[in-house]
Amino acid sequence: QKEVEQNSGPLSVPEGAIASLNCTYSDRGSQSFFWYRQYSGKSPELIMSIYSNGDKEDGRFTAQLNKASQYVSLLIRDSQPSDSATYLCAVINSGAGSYQLTFGKGTKLSVIP
Amino acid sequence: DTGVSQNPRHKITKRGQNVTFRCDPISEHNRLYWYRQTLGQGPEFLTYFQNEAQLEKSRLLSDRFSAERPKGSFSTLEIQRTEQGDSAMYLCASSSKTSGSIFSYNEQFFGPGTRLTVL
C-alpha cells in the first residue's frame, strides 16, 4: 500500500513568517514529487514539482527532497494571508508503469495577519 | 481560458440514477486522469488515458464506474446506479510532455471539478 503522510494541521503562522510543510512517502521507487495548493471548495493547483535530491526554489516557495529519508518539504517564505489553504503532497512512481498521483490528506495552513 | 474544463460543475441526483460527467483537457495534452475527492481527504486516483487508450484503472473502482475518451480529446465518466457513498468531488486532470525534465510528463493540471451529491 503506497502511502503519503502529512500532518493535518492546522498550521498557523504569522504574516511574514516562514511556513514549513512536511511530507513522507512509503514507496521508495517514487520518482516525481509535487506540492498542490487547494483553497476551500476549489480544485488542487500545482505549485511545485521536484525530481532530484536537494532544493528547488520558485519565488517564495522552496521544495526540498531527500530520497534516502523518503521526505519532501515545502517552505513558504514571507507568508501572506492569501497563502492560507490546504497543501497537498503527491508522488508518482512512473518507473513501475503507473502514472497515478498518490496524495496525502493535506496540511491546512492559516496565515494570521 | 486554456485550462482543463469540466461539466457540469454541480450535479444533484437521486440514489439509483445514472450520471455522466465530461472533461475537456488542456489543448494537445494527450494524457487525461480522473480522481475523486471526499471531504478531508486527498484526491484518489480512478483511471488514466493516454490518447484514447485507458491504460490504468484503480482496483478500488466499482464496476458501476466507466470512463471513455473516444477520440483522444474529451473524456466522459459515467456512474451507474448511484449510491450515497458516490457523493464527492470528481476531478479531471491532464498532462503532456514538455521540453523540460523527462518527468515533466507527470505534472498534472486539474480542472475545477464536478461536485456530485447523491440524495
d(CA B78, CA B108): 22
Q: In this predicted structure, what is the pLDDT of residue B99?
A: 61
DSSP state of B32: E
Average pLDDT of chain A is: 95
Q: A51-60: long-range contacts at Cβ-Cβ below 8 A with a sequence spacing of 24 or more? A: A51/B101, A51/B103
Percent of chain A with pLDDT over 90: 88
Grid coordinates belonging to B97: 510532455
CA dihedral of residues A85, A62, A73, B37 (deg, nearest 10): 40
Q: In this predicted structure, what is the pLDDT of residue B105?
A: 81
Specify whether the CB–CB gap between B115 and B100 falls below 8 A.
no
Which one of A43, A46, A103 has the shortest CB-CB distance to B42?
A103
Grid coordinates belonging to A71: 521526505
The closest alpha carbon to B49, from B64, B36, B63, B67, belongs to B67
Grid coordinates belonging to A79: 507568508
Using omega within 30 degrees of 0 as the cis cutoff, is the peptide bond preceding A81 cis?
no
pLDDT above 60 (res B1): no
Q: In this predicted structure, what is the pLDDT of residue B95?
A: 93
Kindly report the nearest CA distance between residue A80 and chain B, in angstroms.
Answer: 23
Grid coordinates belonging to B37: 475527492
Q: In this predicted structure, what is the pLDDT of residue B106?
A: 86
For an interface test with B, give the residue of A43, A47, A58, A88 to mutate (most B CBs within 10 A).
Answer: A43
Q: In this predicted structure, what is the pLDDT of residue B100?
A: 66
Using omega within 30 degrees of 0 as the cis cutoff, is the peptide bond preceding A113 cis?
no
pLDDT above 80 (res B114): yes
**For residue range B82-113, what is the model confidence (pLDDT) as tens digits?**
999 999 999 999 998 766 667 778 899 999 99
d(CA B110, CA B94): 7
**For residue range A58-104, what is the model confidence (pLDDT) as tens digits?**
999 999 999 999 999 999 999 999 999 999 999 998 777 788 999 99
CB pairs under 8 A between A and B: 66
**pLDDT tier for residue B2 given thresholds of 50, 70 and 90:** confident
The contacts of residue B98 (CB under 8 Å, 6+ apart) are B104, B105, B107
**For residue range B3-51, what is the model confidence (pLDDT) as tens digits?**
999 999 999 999 999 999 999 999 989 999 999 999 999 999 999 999 9
d(CA B8, CA A102): 25
Sheet strands side by side (includes B19-24): B5-7, B19-24, B75-79, B65-68
Grid look-up 473502482 returns B61
- A90, closest residue in chain B (CA to CA): B42
DSSP state of B25: P
